[in-house]
Every structure is written in structure tokens, then in C-alpha cells.
Amino acid sequence: MDKLWLIIKREYLTRVKRRSFIIATLLTPLAFAVFFVVVGLIFQYESDDTRRIAIIDEGNVLERSIKDEKNLYFKFVDVELEVLREHFDEFDYDGILVIPRVKDLMSKNYTVYYYSDKQPTLDIESLIRERVREGVKDFKIAALQLDPVQLEALDTRVALEPEPIDESGQDASKLTGAIAAGIGGLMGIIMYIVVFIYGMMVMRSVMEEKTSRIVEVMISSVRPFQLMLGKIVGVGAVGLTQVAIWAILIPAVVLITSLVFGLDSSSQMQMAQASPGAADINPEDAEAMIALAIEEFNSLNWWAILPLFIFYFLGGYFLYASLFAAVGSAMGDDLGEGQSLTIPITIPVVLAFYIMIVAIQAPNSSLAVWSSIFPLFSPIVMPARLAFSPPLWEVLASVVVLAGSSIFFVWLSGRIYRVGILMYGKKVTLRELGKWMFYRD
């Protein structure tokens, strides 16, 4: 036990004290901040290109009124198109918009013409189409003598409010799904990254011990299993440290930079509005939604989710790190040669990641349920489902199976590891790895 502790301490301290660790731990939040600032600046930059557009409204469809946009100005002109085109360079216009007469009131199709020496950009094009659509609509309403109020009433907004069957159940609001999906996805991604980064770290470190020939010295003092377990625990502690630091630093850095660079909520709103489908949310609705989201976030059962998340972190990490350790022990001096051995481990991780994405959209599908019990997938899939409050039996089954399998895989990998670290100069196949499990000590 004392020796295991010594090994864990060394594995942890040598990594944490390394300059590369400190740099990576501190630079990642900075990278986030830079990303955040750059994205913010990009969105602020979007529309500084001022455009002036002349409109020739042949049938007075728009009735000389159209709304200007930021950096986009319209002007109705009574000049002939030919004249305008001929003297285009003398006028200070970027484009000429020709609105022809509406010939058929009942036609759904209508074409306007844009003359310019430049292609219209996508945002200008869609903006013009939207403005003209509104104008033509008003024109048709007037021409057909319809009642605008009645027409407005035809467009009904439908909201879906989830309600529990029995009264004691939790009242989920319409945002619960979205919030749970966000948190679930984030957790799943963190798990995926953790398994890969730190699992690989264990593998590399096992290989280094083997190629630097320190390993035989070590195992003349401690059992191979102690050495492997000590390494896995030590690197796992490094992972926890790094994730914990990021969990504090990244939000802090993002907050500070957004204050310093003045990326206030309105520009964030702009970012949100820039994404398709979000355009029809007005600012008041958005504010209410944010408040609701925070409330939803707080109402999640964090006392259950956080410990479970840590459990899946540890379970998944132990399971995969031990497999990576076994593979590392089988690799020789040549990294490339052994690379194919890692494929059987990386495939389930990648599969689990895709299942996780599907599970967020359909958290109670049978794929999601069984994947969150199968131990090679559950560390990534189950954390993503936790926010959707899955049934208790599923959580219990998943926890029991994962705990058992982690212990089993650590033991199994130990059996491969003890043989692998002493094998030199031989190309190892998967079949041989299997044989090693049954070697006697």
C-alpha cells in the first residue's frame, strides 16, 4: 500500500510540475478567451460595408416606403433605368433595384431585378427579398381589399407545455429539454475528451517506461500490477486537477474578456440572432427565456448529477486507461508499429460519442437505454442522459455494471501488462495479447 502511494505520488507530481502541463492548463482557458473575443469581433465587423441602393418602383408597389437597415440605405428614384445604367459610375449607388408592376395579384411568383457591378451578398439579397415580400403583401392586401387584422389572426403561434401525469411529478417547462440536452452534450464531450487525452497519456507513459528500460528495475521492487494501478491513479488525479482548474478558469476568463472587450449581452444577442431560426425572437422574449433557463438549470437535481458525473468520469477513465495501459505494454520502441493495437479501444469510444449525440435527441430510445448500461459506452452516453432524469433502475444498473467492469478490466489489463512490459523486440498481435492473459506469473 505504501509503495502504491509512492508510485501515485510520483506519477502525479512529475506531471503536475512539468512546464508543459502548467502551460497547457493555463493556455487552454486563454485560448477560449481569444476565441471568444475573435468571434465577437467578427460578428461586430459583419456589416460595416455601407451599401446604397437606388429603387425604381415602376408600379408604385412599395408606395415609396421601405425601411433602411444598418449600413444599407434605399433611395427611390424617378430616373429611367437606361439613364441610370449609363451613368452608373457618376451616381454614388452600389446597385439598382427594379420593382416591376404586379401583373397577377393571384400569382405566388414575383421577380425583381438587381443591377450592379458586384454580386449581391447573401445577407443583402435575403434582406431585399424580405423587404419586397412585405411590401408586395401590403400591396396585395390593399388591392384585394382584405382585412389586415383578420389576416394577422390566421397566423397562430403554437406552444407546447409539458405537464406530468401524476401531480407529484416534476413540472417540466418547455425549456427543460433544451437545457438538459445542452448540459448532457457538454458532459458527454468532456468524458470523450478525458478518456482520450488521459488514456493516451497512460499509454505513452507505459511505453516510455518500457523503452527507457526502467520498468524491470521498478518491478524488482513492486508488483507490475501496483506499478500499473499507481500510474492510472496518478494520471487520473492529474486529469481531475486539470479539469477542475479549467472548470473555474474558463468561465472566469470568458467573463472577464467579455467585460473588457465590451461584448455585452446585446452583441451576444446579435450572435444568437445571426443563427438561422432565431430571427423572430424579440429581445423581451429572449430575456424571459434566459431567466427561465437559469431557473431550469437550478432546478436540476445537481446533488445526484454531480456525484454521478464524477463516478462516470472515474469509471470510464479506469476502464479505458487500463486498456490503454495494456496496449502500451505491448508496444515496442516503434510507436507506429503498435498504433493498430489502439484501434480496438478507440472504436468503442468514437461509437459511444455518436450514440451520445443521438441519445441527447432521444434520451429514452432503446439505443440510448442499452448503451447507457453497456460498460464501454455508458461512461460517455449516461452522463449525457443524466439531465433528462432517467429512471432509477437504469441508473443503478448502469452504475453497477460500470463499477464491476472497471474492476474487471483493470485486473485483465494487469495480466496483459505484466507480460507485455518484459517483452522486447517482438511484433505483437491482438491474439498474443489474449494469450498473455492466461500466462502464469
Partner 1 sequence: MGNIFEFGSIIYTKASIVNSSILSLDNIVKTYDKNVAVDGVSFEVPKGSIFGLLGPNGAGKTSLIRIITTITRADTGTVLLDGEKLNSRHPEQIGYMPEERGLYRKMKVGEHLLYLARLKGLSKEQAKLQIKHWLEKFEIEDWWDKKVEELSKGMQQKIQFIATVVHEPKLLILDEPFSGLDPVNTNLIKDEIHELHNKGVSIIFSTHRMEQVEEVCEHIVLINKGRNVLEGKVQDIKNQFKRNRFQIDYEGTLPPGLELNADIVEQSDHSITIQVDEEGRSNELLQYLLQNGVFVHAFNEILPSLNEIFIRQVKRV
Between CA 320 and CA 413 the distance in angstroms is: 10
Q: Which stretch binds partner 1 (CB under 8 A): 131-139, 295-303, 343-351, 433-441?
A: 433-441
Strands 95-99 and 113-115: antiparallel
Which of 178, 278, 350, 422 is close enough to bind partner 1 by CB under 8 A? 422
- Using the contact rule CB under 8 A, the part of the chain among 109-117, 148-156, 207-215, 356-364 near partner 1 is 207-215
User: Quick one: which of 111, 156, 212, 266 contacts partner 1 (CB under 8 A)?
Assistant: 212
The correct pick among 1, 106, 159, 217 for binding partner 1 (CB under 8 A) is: 217
Q: Which among 2, 420, 11 is positioned nearest to 230, based on CA atoms?
A: 11
Q: Does 221 bind partner 1 (CB under 8 A)?
A: yes
Q: Which range, of 145-153, 206-214, 307-315, 371-379, touches partner 1 by CB under 8 A? A: 206-214
Which positions ≥6 away from 346 have C-beta within 8 Å? Answer: 196
Among 34, 214, 244, 281, binds partner 1 (CB under 8 A): 214
- Shortest gap between Cβ of 328 and partner 1 (angstroms)? 16
Cα four-point dihedral sign 307, 28, 326, 338: positive
To partner 1, the closest distance from the beta carbon of 243 in angstroms equals 23
Contact letters for partner 1, residues 161-200 (x by CB under 8 A): ----------------------------------------
Using the minimum distance from each CB to partner 1, give the nearer residue, 86 or 216: 216
Question: Please, what is the end-to-end C-alpha distance for the chain in angstroms?
Answer: 20
- Closest to partner 1 by CB, 205 vs 258, is 205
Task: Say how many residues touch partner 1, by CB under 8 A.
Answer: 25
What is residue 121's DSSP assignment?
Answer: P
Q: How far is the CB of 219 from partner 1 (least distance, A)?
A: 5
Q: What are phi and psi of 330, to 5 degrees?
A: -85, -15
Closer by beta carbon to partner 1, 233 or else 380: 233
Give Dmax over CA atoms of the chain in angstroms: 97
Three cell numbers written together for 188: 458527454
CB of 220 to partner 1, least distance (A): 4
CA-nearest of 169, 207, 186, 247 to 383 is 186
Determine the Cα–Cα distance for residues 250 and 183; give it in Å rounded to an integer: 16
Q: Tell which residue, 375, 21, 30, has the closest CA to residue 201.
A: 21
Q: Pick one of 35, 302, 354, 424: the residue that binds partner 1 (CB under 8 A).
A: 424
**Burial degree of 332 (CB within 10 A; 0-12, 13-18, 19+):** middle
Neighbours of 271 (CB within 10 A): 15
- Segment interacting with partner 1 (CB under 8 A) among 50-58, 216-224, 350-358, 396-404: 216-224
- C-alpha–C-alpha distance, residues 252 and 186, integer Å: 18
Residues making contact with partner 1 (CB under 8 A): 3, 6-7, 10, 14, 18, 209, 212-214, 216-224, 422, 424, 435, 439-441
